[in-house]
């Protein structure tokens, strides 16, 4: 029973992280990565870093689920 609940929680986390990745990707489309505006570049970097971390989380979940 515990294992089933754990698997279900992991699958829900995977769904949330996948949605977060799509949202971060969409946010990046509103920004210009070649801008001279330092504040906008900071946001581009932060979003790119966040996508990397979300991707790492998704990979970890996939590994734990044996996919």
pTM: 0.84
Say whether 67 sits in a helix, a strand or coil.
Answer: coil
Q: What's the angle, vertex CA 16, arms to CA 8 and CA 14, rounded to 5?
A: 50
Q: What is the pLDDT of residue 67?
A: 78
- DSSP run (H or E) holding 65: helix 38-65
Write down the pLDDT at residue 3.
Answer: 87
Of how many residues is the chain composed? Answer: 67
CA dihedral sign of residues 61, 16, 33, 35: negative
Q: What is the pLDDT along the chain (67 residues), one digit of tens a residue?
A: 788 889 999 999 999 999 999 999 999 999 998 899 999 999 999 999 999 999 999 999 999 998 7
- Alpha-carbon distance of 56 to 4, in angstroms, equals 23
Tokens of 36: 């001279």
């Amino acid at each position: 029973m515990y294992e089933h609940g754990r698997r279900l929680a992991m699958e829900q986390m995977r769904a949330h992280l996948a949605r977060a990745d799509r949202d971060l990707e969409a946010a990046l489309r509103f920004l210009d990565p070649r801008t001279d505006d330092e504040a906008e570049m900071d946001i581009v970097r932060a979003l790119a870093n966040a996508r990397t971390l979300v991707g790492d989380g998704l990979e970890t979940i996939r590994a734990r689920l044996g996919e």
